[in-house]
Amino acid sequence: MRFSVGIVSFIPCLFGLTFVGAVPTKDCAYAVKESIAEPHGWTKDSQPSPNHKIELKIALPQPNFAELERHLYEVSNPDHERYGEHLSKEEVEELVAPHPESLNMVNEWLSSFGFKDEDLARSPAKDWITLKVPVSIAEKMLDTKYHVWKHVESGDYLVRTTSYSLPTNLHAHIDLIQPTTMFGRFKSEKSSIFSAVPIPDSLVQANNAIGTIEAASGVSVDASCNQTITITCLQELYNAVGFKPSAKGNSIGITGYLEEFANFQDLQTFYADQRPDALNSTFNVISVAGGLNNQSLDEAGGEANLDTQFAFGLSHPISPTFFTTAGRPPFIPEEGGSEDTNEPYTVWLDFILSHPNPPLAISTSYGDDEQTVPFSFAQRACAGFAQLGARGVSLLFSSGDGGVGDGDSNPATQTCISNDGKNTTKFLPAFPASCPFVTAVGATTHIPEVAVSRFFSGGGFSNYFTRPAFQDKVVSAYLKALPKGTFAGLFNLNGRAYPDVAAQGDLFKVFVGGEAFLIGGTSASSPTFAGFVALLNDVRLKAGRPSLGFLNPFIYSKGFAGLNDITVGHNSGCGTLGFNATKGWDPVTGFGTPNFGKLRELVLSL
């Protein structure tokens, strides 16, 4: 801790009080605001250029968030009289606005470093402030030292610190500042085990074979679906054949990151192959912070094409939007380099919270390992998801592709080491899937469906978020049935459990760069489930009802009756077979996969 020099340092810096003789914020003593252990798997590489630009994001407290959470659960609980009475953008912003005193204190601090109001970007609720500064200034503001860190396994680089400080009288007025202690490696959940491979001619010939197979739900599915998943396969498997949405007032969105571009020409090829009635239709593209969507076939993204082709193919003609967000956190350090190293996810979250009409169902197939995301940051991002849920938006996230472990590691040598400096072995949950305000989607394969095992369908228990009340009954039952001592000490018995649901996640026929590929991962599961949520919203809207919004209270109280229970499979990782799929909810496939026919009746009964 350092103290300012001179007689003024002996005058107390009282939290939020201003009086004659009080110490200006800039002269207050600094104290550590946040500190982490040196992150596992990273090494200090070098010093960043003093001119390297960092986009600091400052989060101010949301003193009325508990009130917003109350509203969220009331409008999302099918048994509550307010079910479906979603809040407006303005009502949500009023509930998350910081106290004026916090605004004044932070403004005073920033002005002491020469920043003017025009240098600052504020969120609509004024709960976030963003400003771009050179590293040299950030180090003075935060009384810290940044380094270039290298990720040993991948070779990625980040500019980060393991500790930062603030004036003592600001601690109550700032929740967090990033990028500082965040060492996440934001990635798509497209499985590296079931990677994209061209479809061989032998498989094309086999898929021409005639025949059907019986799914566990009792529906008949074309036999070819055990080798290649198409739109028709999903419609048959999930009991949606013949349903035609009207699209009026409905919408669906896909998020894109890390320079993954969704190709229009590939979409037309996909539609010609699997959804001919959608030919010549396309999707809206919204650029976030300058995000691109280059249309060269050489730059077509496997992740982006998978997500858009299946989500929009399933939900056609519901209004589709692809959000392309700029930013790629790892950078290559070079002399005088000034690349931005921010996490792009929060850039999208800021944007969508300011959007007057976000899509009613949004799928994201990207995530981090929970332990690489500071707890304070995870809390605030999760609070952002709650705001969207309160506005009637359903958020679907892939549950991850590492089973109970780290999807980045080679499954054969997966060590699952804690990131707290103790280097203990434990299961590694994923974020944002672990946030209780989103719906996490696991993966199944084959017909009849089983969980995708072998280090694939991510699932487990959060170390950050406690188990929400809507999960208590089913999760407690699952844990009670586990043999005593199973995985003792490897997971948090009281944590938010995930996934909530599942969908097919392997062998998806996707067109990339003009060629057909088979792609797998929970990256496929999330846009698939989102497509069916969009269809359910269509059912609701046609009947004059509001959108489904935050799904979990519905799923855990009534919706599970419209899901196909998956009872075979497991999610290996960390040198174990992981958790087992079993009757009822489980941390591999949640409550199971959608039966649209049943869910359609359930959502109409609400």
Q: List the chain domain ranges.
A: 7-62+97-183, 197-330+345-604
Locus of tokens 């998801």: 385
Q: Which residue has the higher pLDDT, 10 or 387?
A: 387
345 vs 276, more confident: 276
| Residue 154 pLDDT class (50, 70, 90 cuts) | confident
pLDDT at 118: 97
Is 566 flagged in the annotation as binding? yes
Secondary structure class of 570 (helix, strand, coil): strand
pLDDT of residue 492: 97
CA–CA distance, 47 with 139 (Å, rounded to integer): 12
**So what's the pLDDT on residue 193?**
42
* Residue 586 is labelled as binding a ligand: yes
Residue 139 annotated as catalytic: no
For residues 92-99, average pLDDT:
98
Digit-coded pLDDT (tens) for 548-601: 999 999 999 999 999 999 999 999 999 899 999 999 999 999 999 999 999 999
The predicted structure's pLDDT at residue 8? 30
Complete edge-to-edge strand list for the sheet that includes strand 197-198 = 197-198, 515-519, 508-512
Q: What is the pTM of this model?
A: 0.94
pLDDT-derived band at 229, boundaries 50, 70, 90: very high
Q: What pLDDT score was predicted for residue 203?
A: 57
State the catalytic residue, choosing from 303, 368, 500, 506.
303
Establish whether 21 is an annotated binding residue.
Answer: no
Catalytic pick from 251, 523, 526, 547?
A: 523
pLDDT at 207: 55
Question: Residue 521 has which token pair?
Answer: 């991962």
**Whole-number pLDDT of residue 187:** 80
Please give the residue that has the higher pLDDT: either 548 or 417. Answer: 548
- Tens of pLDDT, residue by residue over 355-367, are 999 999 999 999 9
Rounded Cα distance, 566 and 548, in Å: 24
Residue 534 pLDDT > 70? yes
Question: Pseudo-torsion of CA 286, 348, 430, 422, nearest 10°?
Answer: 150
Give 193-211 pLDDT, tens digit per residue: 445 567 766 555 555 556 7
**pLDDT attached to residue 345:** 80
Q: Summarize pLDDT for 299-326 with one digit per residue, the tens.
A: 999 999 999 999 999 999 999 999 999 9
Tokens 């109550």 sit on residue: 172
Q: Is the pLDDT of residue 342 over 60?
A: yes
Is there a catalytic annotation at residue 303?
Answer: yes
Coil, strand, or helix at residue 65?
Answer: helix
Residue 327 banded pLDDT, cuts 50, 70, 90 = confident
Q: Which of 222, 236, 307, 406 is catalytic?
A: 307
- In whole angstroms, give the CA distance from residue 334 to residue 249: 49
- Residue 157: what pLDDT? 87
Q: Which CATH number does 197-330+345-604 carry? A: 3.40.50.200
365 belongs to the catalytic site: no
pLDDT of 412 over the 90 cut:
no
- What residues form DSSP beta bridges with 362? 253, 395
Which range is least confidently modeled, 6-15, 141-150, 305-314, 513-522? 6-15
**Mean of the per-residue pLDDT values of the chain:** 90
